[in-house]
Chain A
Amino acid sequence: MATAEELRRRAKRRSFTIQSAILILIVLAVWGAVSNAQYNLTRLNMTSGFSFLERDTGWDYSFSLIERSISDRYYYTLFAGLLNTLFVGFICIITTTFFGFIIGTLRDARHPALNFAANVYVQIFRNIPLILQAIFLYAILIHMGGPRQALNIGDVAFLSGRGMMLPGLNIAPAAAVGLLLTSIAIAIGLIIKKTSLWRGIAIWFGGTIVLSLLAAMVLRPEGEGVFSIPALAGLRFRGGISVPIELLALIVSITLYGSAYIAEIVRGGLAQVPRGLIEAGQALGLSNMSIWSRIKVPMALRSIIPPLGNQWIFMMKATTIGIAIGFSDLFYITVNSISQSGQTLELILILMLTFLAINYSIAFFTNWLNARLQLKEH
């Protein structure tokens, strides 16, 4: 009969053996992979390392927010791709959250017609693969005619096979980026100050619009208006903001798909608000609108934020399908760089680390937001 002491020792020895075996296996696998890679690279006459980042790319791509040319360095092109990914991801996070809240509220509403319409929307767009929606939308857009046959939306916006022309403020791109950063800073400041939900949103929204108008008035070029409105001049449009169809298809399809998901999250959160709170609101004579804005949404946010954060991360990752419709996001740029420069391992490593960083930043932000919103337990 083994004593307890002996059994414990035996278990310890077993655990030690298993762990060392696993460690040795991992080391062997990594070593094998590295030596294989080295062997293959020397066979292909490749040099590993990050010096290629200083080389010129020699190729062009579809879209970038910053100046670009074919003689850009690799690191600059990758940075442009990262900006594109963040740009699309950020816009989609805002649009999906906005529409998701509206549709989710309708899903939760007691009105049968609104409920039904929202349900139809969710069931259609959630159950078709995102990439199919993106490619489909892109195909529709590319089949639209040239600028002369453009779809005219109230004489201020035009949609054609070349892209969408939107009215915009007359400011330089650099000023626009500055405005965007200011807007984010205002939002974070309001969350830190714990401004109440609706007032915070109103201040943020109003503040951003006023600031943008001010910037446009001060920074506009000599002799031009505050707004730049697109107009057909010959065979193309002049003025306004031009949104290429790849970008448009990507943003709209992610918005359609993501809103359906967020709507379900919002509906789940609203449904979890205790009935007693709503009945208390009714007993106090609050209108349905006030019950929604002052009781349901603030209470529901606490259970909505964690899954919402996951959905935001998903949206950032979903921008990678841009490659299927030729939008130059980070993944597109990386794949192109790999086929042009051959520096596969380095580029994949950069791509992975970037996405890890993006995900952890969003996760950090939503955790922080969640901690801010939690009720203080007494």
Chain B
Amino acid sequence: MAATDITPPSRFAEARKRFVKTGFGSPLAAITSVLVFTLLAYIAWGFLDWAAFRAVWSKEDVALCGDHSGACWSVIDARHRLILFGTYPYEEHWRSTLAAVAIVVTVLVSCLPAMWRATRLAVLWIVGFASYYLLMEGSLLGLAQVTTDGWGGLSLTLFLFASVVLLGMPMGLGLALMRRSEMPVVRWFAVAIIDTVRSLPLVTTLFTAAVVAPLFLPSWLEGDKIWRVIFAFALFFGAYQAEVFRGGFQAIPKGQFEAGKALGISYWSILGRIVLPQVFRHALPSTINMIVVTFKETAIVTIIGFFDILASGKTAFGTAQWSPYYIEVFLFVAAIYWVFIFSLGQYGEYLKSRMAISEH
């Protein structure tokens, strides 16, 4: 008697079957498959050949780069410190490294679901941000002081990113709440700010903060250029985030507010214990998206004269010796951006699918 095979087909076999069926089901599909895969393989091979097989890796071998048939990574070997740390003092680079690690760890830890409480996240981000600042600035820890003008490279990019998110998140929540207010003056004020900031290109907003704002501000309020720019950037983040939160608020039935009010619960308790936890949940995927966009947009500050990783990269090939190898530097900087942005984006996709499942 033949035993019936009751083991489920393996996932791989299923995927292979589907691949063959859709990719080689008809002559046209098969030809397309072969053509596209050949083209992709050709491009990938050409790139690998240039970037790896025929490349020169160490800065001692820079003389070999002359014929230039492959990539010359010597420029990265020689100049990576400049790209990563900008003009930060050479002996203090370990501080800049640690500070950057602090920000990355903060972001990584806040990806854990166990951290998703408002207080925990707030504490985590403030601690992460504070350790960054203490390490970079140094005077409070008894280290040599480095003012914000000396910050640069990847650390500056991460700093801008972290401070914008940290400052912009409460701004966004505040604006979203003001926009829902029953008091018309408060509502109009929020609408005016949100709509104006959202209509303007980010460069314009940052430029206004960096160059124009000192005309309006009294000298005691002027502050450093970097703080004004961070404030304006956070306002940009807040204005967009307010709309994200607004979407979250709209997903919550009005009955919940009314039930809370009927039970005599105060406004802030209704908000903090009933409404906001659900709003955050609904707004989570769009919030991650906003954070990804913010990371990408930090590159804009190079226009208004900050020494972020894009600007320090441009400086790295600025000398006569290294200027032919600008492609390698740009690829290196692009790869760094790509790793950060791609991982954050994939995390957002994962959260979206996770929430789509739990909703059923």
**Interface residue ranges, A against B (CB under 8 Å):** 15, 18-19, 22-23, 26, 32-34, 36-37, 40-41, 110-114, 116-117, 120, 123-124, 126-133, 135-136, 139-140, 143, 317-318, 320-321, 323-324, 331, 335, 338, 344-345, 348, 351-352, 355-356, 359-360
Q: Is B351 an interface residue (CB 8 A)?
A: no
Q: How many angstroms between the C-alpha atoms of A136 and B300 in the bound complex?
A: 14
**Interface residue ranges, B against A (CB under 8 Å):** 19, 22-23, 29, 32-33, 35-37, 39-40, 182-186, 189, 196, 199-204, 207-208, 211-212, 214-218, 296-300, 302-303, 310, 314, 326-327, 330, 333-334, 337-338, 341-342, 345
Which residues of B lie under 8 Å from residue A15 when comparing CB positions? 182-183
Cβ-closest chain A residue relative to B333: A132
Which residues of A lie under 8 Å from residue B302 when comparing CB positions? 131, 324
Q: How many angstroms between the C-alpha atoms of A356 and B201 in the bound complex?
A: 10
Cβ-defined contact, A127 with B40, below 8 A: no
Cβ-defined contact, B186 with A18, below 8 A: yes
Given A26-B189, A324-B303, also A359-B216 (CB < 8 A): no
Cβ-defined contact, A132 with B201, below 8 A: no
Given A41-B215, A113-B32, A129-B296, also A120-B204 (CB < 8 A): no
Contact of B338 (CB < 8 Å), options: A37, A127, A321? A127
Q: How many angstroms between the C-alpha atoms of A360 and B10 in the bound complex?
A: 54
Q: How many angstroms between the C-alpha atoms of A135 and B327 in the bound complex?
A: 11
Residue among A15, A18, A128 with the highest chain B CB neighbour number at 10 A? A128
Cβ-defined contact, A111 with B23, below 8 A: yes
Given A36-B218, A129-B337, also A123-B342 (CB < 8 A): yes
What is the total of A-B residue contacts with beta carbons within 8 Å?
Answer: 137
Cβ-closest chain A residue relative to B214: A40
Q: How many angstroms between the C-alpha atoms of A15 and B186 in the bound complex?
A: 10
Given A22-B186, A112-B19, A352-B204, also A128-B337 (CB < 8 A): yes
Which residues of A lie under 8 Å from residue B40 when comparing CB positions? 113, 116-117, 120
* Beyond A19-B186, A113-B23, A131-B303, 8 additional pairs, beta carbon < 8 A: A22-B189, A33-B216, A113-B35, A117-B40, A129-B337, A132-B334, A139-B326, A331-B201
Given A131-B299, A139-B326, A139-B330, also A331-B203 (CB < 8 A): yes
Cβ-closest chain B residue relative to A344: B212
Which residues of B lie under 8 Å from residue A110 when comparing CB positions? 22
Given A33-B216, A132-B334, A344-B211, also A321-B32 (CB < 8 A): no
Residue among A23, A143, A321 with the highest chain B CB neighbour number at 10 A? A321
Cβ-defined contact, B183 with A18, below 8 A: yes
Q: Which 9 A-B pairs have the closest CB atoms?
A: A129-B299, A317-B201, A113-B36, A33-B216, A19-B185, A320-B201, A127-B341, A113-B33, A136-B330
